[in-house]
Structure 1
Amino acid sequence: MKIRVTIVQLNAHLGDFDGNLKKIYNAIDIAEKNQSDFVVFPELFLTGYPPEDLVLRTSFLKKNIEYINKIVSYSKDKKTVILIGYIDVEDDAFNSLAIIHNGKFLGKYHKHLLPNYSVFDEHRYFKSGNEITIIEYNNIKIGINICEDIWSPIGPLHYQVLNGTQLIINSSASPYFYGKRKLRKKYLSTKSYDYHCPIVYCNLVGGQDEVVFDGGSIVTTSEGNIMYECKPFEEEIVTLDIPIEENLRTNLQDPRRRHISSTKIPNINIIKISNKIERKTKINVSTKNFSLKREEEIFKAVTLGLRDYIIKNGFKKVVIGLSGGMDSSLVAAIAVEALGKDNVLGILMPSMYSSSHSIEDAKNLAENLGIKYYIIKIENIYYSFVNELKEIFSNTKEDITEENLQARIRGTILMAISNKFGHIVLATGNKSEIATGYSTLYGDMVGGFSPIKDVYKTDVYKMAKWYNKFKGKEIIPQNVFVKPPSAELRPNQKDQDTLPPYEILDEILKLYIEKELSVEEISEKFDKETVKYVAKLVDKNEYKRRQGVIGVKVSERSFGKDRRMPITSKYKEW
């Protein structure tokens, strides 16, 4: 016995009911053509995810119900059972999965476990479900659940399996961070093995503000093997035949489940569906399992995040300040991959402190990428500012003020070009700089989106090296890799004049920001004075980050709503 399932790993556009509906209809037609028993969509695919405070608008909720009814009507005379994520509205709002078949709304499943950590705020918007839903499909029991429900040791999955479920179908919108894909595959494989039950895991793909969904939908066998993995960071619709008889055979050979108490099972909702499909087609799909290097995976994530942010928000072109340094070089490369070379504009803004090789490196990069660029010198503008400020600045020494003034002139030029032509400015700061405040408010921090905001400096270099290798030629000039990083705001300036070496800095930052270790704990591995200095920089610059632009989340803990530290706080570890 086999159950044929069509997995719909597509990119939803939040609030675009018509656009999402078009994709839904197309996927249903593909599933019907392939004579599938089920077609499963990602979590809240109809609305897009996460809808955040749109859930508080009754007009949004009503629109969502209106479009679910359209799907019900579209399903008439179709054999395939449709599992589609939407918001159910009763006495409250529920993150739900609709069960639709042949012109009828057969039932729904309400998500039980509502995540309220990291980027999630589901307790703010939804009420938890209290029923376990099992579809009895031609006498085969199929459990359905939503995202977080499958991750808990004791939750809907546990009770569904104890009640005889032979297949689990999970609808997810699981955000990406590096390591998540490996963790997900390992976890679901273990669940399948422990419960002797195949799992169909359908995940969302695409960018939504700072969050990226990587797709990577998978099917596991009752033995815990990966039967199929969808392409990461790409849309894909695939139909698979999933063997069910192996489930019984495994249970007989490994009877551990018999000894687990099946008492205290929550309310169970059984939805019976009789559906005869005489198949004339065979599905032949090769086993796929994707393994990406860290640099490639992060590059794909930020490229997808940038592309969707630009396109979904109605922009067409971006403008980037090219300094000849590594950060702006990588951002330009990402932008070209995401949007095409004709939609990327580079602006070189040399000052009296800019080295000749930096200007040449920026020009060579632009030419290698095939993007248009302009050179706008800022020296005269700078001295005009200094001249106008000379009275109020009299009897003071030159300091960081004059350095930041250069950065703010560049930011003003980029925003002027943005205003004039409608291009969105891409900020080029990396996580190491943003964490320590090694950036200028209203200067190099200006922009509408920051692709590498959550990428450490050491990873920036690794991604750039991978990119050149991926392209099979030197796109980012070799000199960019070998010269010491510098903001070039004063003579002979280098990043390491102010910051520890990035190899050390990044490791301290990961422990302090992502693992929340104390200064004392981190000092067991690194010099204590260095750790205290780094912690002080991180804490003191929260006010800057709060005013910064959003960017793609690729780490376990990114800046923004993923990490919510108070600006005003007397608690210090340094």
Structure 2
Amino acid sequence: MAAAQVDTCVGDLEGNARAVLEWTRRAADEGAHLVVFPEMTLTGYPIEDLALRASFRRAAQATLERLAVELADAGLGEVAVLVGSVGERPADRRREDSPQSGTTEHPDRRLVASEVAGDVVAGRPEAADAVRPTNDAVLLRGGRVEARYSKHHLPNYGVFDEFRIFAPGDEICVVDVAGRRVGVVICEDIWQDGGPVSLMDENEVAALVVLNGSPFEEGKGHVRAQLAARRAAEVDAPVVYVNLVGGQDDLVFDGGSFVVDRDGTELAGAPQFVEHLLVWDLADEGEPSRRGARVPPLDADEETYRAVVTGLRGYVRKNGFRSVVLGLSGGIDSALTAAIAADAIAGENVVGVSMPSSFSSTHSKDDAEDLARRIGADYRVQPIASIVDAYQEQLALDGVAEENLQARVRGVILMAISNREGHLVIAPGNKSELATGYATIYDAGSIGGFAPLKDVDKSRVWALARWRNNHAVDRGEIPPIPESSITKPPSAELRPGQLDQDSLPPYDLLDEVLDAYVEHAEGRAELLERGFDEAVVDRVLQLVDRAEWKRRQYPMGPKVTALAFGRDRRLPVTSRWREP
């Protein structure tokens, strides 16, 4: 069997179908009888409320049926091909009687989308004759759709809203391939105890395949492997875990597909963050399990770095951009962001703009130019002093208002270049700044369409910069980031002698408090019990709570931690609650 770890794009039905055809041909050339693709292969994942459009579901089904014929016409009709797609079923029973996960909402108060005369009407109670979408695994063979399985457990936590979108399945799926019985489930079905996996041992399966759209987050690979090992022991058969790869909006899928034996031994594994075909031979009954190709795990910093590169590359390419533009200040955030962009889409497609003011230091301008030269970027200098003076003639601002004016002028310049030349503006702000609101809204650090470091705190920014430079040295290359950009104290340079630590705790301390308050939801009392200084705690909590409105307007960026700002953490902007 072959695990086809592919990069799909939401809504690109034809392009995704072509990918299935091409990767199936490759698998057949290597002798595979069964090819397993990731969750929602044909539609891309996650499709969110596209699933509620009858027109989209019809197009997906038509593409699926056409793909089955094309596979047969290409001489691949004898290969069993498992793909993910959207399906539908009559809403003829109450959802509260069906398998689900992660919801405690009372069913009588739950409002879902229903269809009236083929149109989606959101927020209406479920109609007796409504048709609801399903998250399906579909077996294509012999030029037709041979079998279909609907995901049972629909996640409703973190970045997932599947329970509000899909109807759950209630049947198990076991397919025969080359005389062997193979169980089929989808992603969350193995994360929940019971359900379809618990019934597989009764069907004496030779292997269990799992179609996944499991987003990356730090440390998750180990958790997946442990979980798969538990399910392998449960069904007394190897588990083949096939995961999606690539960037989709604010999610990154890292691939890392693998095969685990019933005793927890990894039998085969695919690399992360690249498309890959993992071919593995299922042993005959009574024979010991066979081993296939395996790859060593990535270092934690390399894994996160490659995740943000993958996220940016996916967003740029899938949205039709060819290049990006960002402000280069000479500081660590813009330097790392530019290096990430160069790795994602090549340095010649990165436009770096230095926008010095009367307060900009000589070393900052020199560092920006040095960085651009190292990564091969299109480097430009656009002084802002005369533009700021023109505003000041009309407004006569001082204090913070004057500082913010400088920052926003830089944002206007980047957007103007973007409009003129078609580049995607990327924001270099990091998670620590976003958490505390330590960024001027609409400035060069927060404006644009994508923010690669949105879920990377400041302490980790330095660590990733160090890793990237060391990686270059190990390969005999010039490090992309100037050493002085890493070592000098961070500053917005909006007034003479300004440093970030003038108004923020040291970043190592700040990030520790933020991690406890934001990611682990610890309150003021818990933070004080842990020994954090009361003045620091009160200052940080005040900054975080007051900055929610800024976070709502910030560009999307790739999720890499267990809890990212955006889908993961949803708090009201208007709130008088303060930690006691």
**In the TM superposition, what is the alpha-carbon distance from 1:139 to its structure 2 partner?**
5.4
**Within-5 A mapping of 1:125-144:** 125-137=165-177, 140-144=180-184
Q: In structure 2, which of residues 16, 19, 37 is the aligned counterpart of residue 23 of structure 1? A: 19
For residues 88-127 of structure 1, the C-alpha deviation after alignment (integer angstroms, 9 at most, x for no partner) is 1232211001122212322211100001111111112110
Contact 1:32 1:79 in 2 (8 A): no
Counterpart contact for 2:279–2:292, Cα < 8 Å: no
Q: Where does structure 1 lack aligned partners over 5 or more consecutive residues? A: 251-283
Task: Find the partner of 1:183 among 217, 223, 230.
Answer: 223
2:97 aligned residue: none
SS in 1 for 2:210: strand
Counterpart of 2:298, as a letter, is L
- Give runs of aligned pairs for residues 111-510 of structure 1, distance below 5 A: 111-137=151-177, 140-243=180-283, 245=285, 286-390=292-396, 398-443=398-443, 444-472=445-473, 473-510=478-515
Give 1:565's aligned residue.
Answer: 571
In the alignment, which residue of structure 2 is the partner of 1:269? none
Residue 14 of structure 2 aligns to a residue whose secondary structure is: helix
Whether contact under 8 Å (2:332, 2:485) holds in the other structure is: yes
Contact 1:97 1:108 in 2 (8 A): yes
Instruction: Give the structure 1 partner of residue 526 of structure 2.
Output: 521
Distance 1:80 1:124 in 2: 35
Distance in 1 between residues matched to 2:345 and 2:535, nearest whole Å: 44
Question: Matched residues in 2 for 1:246 and 1:565: separation?
Answer: 55
Cα separation, 2, equivalents of 1:35 and 1:476: 46
C-alpha distance in 2, partners of 1:387/1:400?
17
Shift of 1:194: 4.8
Matched-pair identity in %: 42
Q: Which residue of 1 aligns with 2:99?
A: none
Structure 1, 434-443 or 375-384: larger mean CA deviation: 375-384
1:103 to 134, 143, 146: 143
Q: 1:39 and 2:70 equivalent?
A: no
TM normalised by structure 1 equals 0.90
Offset of residue 285 of structure 1: 7.4
Contact preservation (8 Å) 1:424, 1:448: yes
Q: What is aligned with 1:276?
A: none
Deviation at 1:221, TM superposition (A): 1.3
Cα distance in 2 between the residues matched to 1:24 and 1:408: 46
The question of whether the paired residues in 1 share the 8 Å contact of 2:278 and 2:293 is answered with no
Deviation at 1:210, TM superposition (A): 0.5
In the TM superposition, what are the counterparts of 1:87-98 in structure 2 within 5 Å?
87-91=86-90, 92-98=132-138
CA contact (8 A) 2:190 2:227 kept: no
Q: Is the 8 A contact 2:384 2:410 kept in 1?
A: yes
Deviation at 1:24, TM superposition (A): 0.8
Give the equivalent residue in structure 2 for 1:545: 551
Q: 2:516 aligned with 1:511, yes or no?
A: yes
| Aligned partner of residue 197 in structure 2, secondary structure | helix
CA RMSD of aligned residues (A): 1.7
SS in 2 for 1:242: coil
1:464–1:476 CA contact under 8 A, matched in 2 = yes
Q: CA deviation at 1:160?
A: 1.3
Task: Kindly indicate whether residue 45 of structure 2 is the aligned counterpart of residue 49 of structure 1.
Answer: yes
* Deviation (angstroms), 1:195: 4.0
Measured in 1, the distance between the counterparts of 2:214 and 2:321 equals 26
User: What CA deviation, in whole Å up to 9, does each residue of 1:366-389 have, x standing for no partner?
Assistant: 111121211111112112212211
Structure 1 residue 223 displacement after superposition: 2.0
Seen in structure 2, the aligned counterparts of structure 1 residues 236 and 139 have a Cα distance that, compared at 3 Å, is closer
For the 8 Å contact 1:324–1:360, the answer to whether it is kept is yes
What's the offset of the Cα at 1:237? Answer: 1.3
Structure 2 unaligned residues grouped into runs of 5+: 91-131
Q: Among residues 72, 80, 104, which one is paired with 2:68 in the alignment?
A: 72
Aligned amino acid, residue 420 of structure 2: K
Per-residue deviation, 1:245: 2.9
Is residue 35–residue 79 contact of structure 1 (8 Å, CA) maintained in 2? no
Seen in structure 2, the aligned counterparts of structure 1 residues 350 and 157 have a Cα distance that, compared at 3 Å, is same
Is residue 89–residue 167 contact of structure 2 (8 Å, CA) maintained in 1? no
Correspondence for 1:63: 59
How much has 1:60 moved relative to structure 2? 0.7
Partners of 1:50 and 1:412 in 2: how far apart?
33
Amino acid of the structure 1 residue aligned with 2:83: I
Q: In the alignment, is the contact (CA less than 8 A) between 1:176 and 1:553 conserved in 2?
A: yes
1:531 aligns with 2:537: yes
What is the distance in 2 between the residues matched to 1:501 and 1:182? 32
User: Residues 55-77 of structure 1, C-alpha deviation per residue, up to 9 Å, x if partnerless?
Assistant: 12111110000011012213436
User: 2:45 & 2:5 partners in 1: Cα distance?
Assistant: 14
Q: Assess if the C-alpha contact under 8 Å between 2:149 and 2:173 holds in 1.
A: yes
Q: Which deviations, in whole Å up to 9, do the C-alpha atoms of 1:387-408 show, x marking residues without a partner? A: 2113xx5xxxx32111111100
